[in-house]
Amino acid sequence: MKLHILGCHSATPRSTVFPSSQILELGNELLLIDAGEGMQIQLRKYKHKFNKIKHIFISHLHGDHFFGLVGFLSTLRLIGREKEIHIYAPVGLKQIIELQFKMTQTDINYPLHFHELSSASSEQILDAGKFEVSTIPLEHRIYTNGFLIKEKPALRKLNIEAVKQFPEIETWAYHHLKQGKDFVKEDGSIIPNDRLTLPPPKAKSYAYCSDTMYKPDIIPLIKDVDLLYHEATFLEQDKDLAGKTKHSTAKQAAQIAREAGAKKLVLGHFSSRYPDETLFAKEAGEIFTNVAIAKEGKSFEA
């Protein structure tokens, strides 16, 4: 599980920074999370393959989180996309995209599925076999969700050297061993599974908390998450402005990370009023130790 930042600044794109968009890499699949203006340019710049993107998650319908989407969907048509695309987004995005296609007489030649979100409670929105995605209800000026992506536990690994010590263990039994089952010999005696297999890698989790004011009731939803991206539009000196606009400060993001027991915190969605983004890390670091600053082109392991 690896996070790639395409854009992490608020409001408008500039010559060197872009609005919110990121890729979460899960094995051979790429999840696109938010799609601010310039997103597909960033995809090309950092060499992420368009064809590996099947699922797109849009947190809310402010332009700096989805204005790059229609261009991306149009490009997929032009490059001959055939595989389906699934978009998980608030009610309204489907209507916006379909109107844009209608008025520009754009015919999409691949299956495009919208999964419209409206629940004020957390809900599972995708079960993809190896991972699952749930919403994190946030509090912003309009309906907004974050997203929690969790890997499912992998199968155990065969300890081949140990297995070879028991000639009666044939290859047909390997699948049962990987599932954690003991091996029962013909005489009824049992070989414990942990003698024959190795534990799988730990299943990882990632929480994306898009635009939101300080909202401690999300903490149980993201408890013990491996990697947490939380907006930090303002510094604490502008806490009143954060409250008025329903955004968070770096300190508040750190408080969420600390109370949730997150392993690592990545701050993003910075206001352009601050020329030195290291101030965000400094402020959050007084509350939570493992803090990183998002930056276009930067990647983080979960």
Active site residues: 64
Residues near 37 by beta carbon (within 8 Å), at least 6 away in sequence: 13, 18, 19, 63, 64, 67, 68
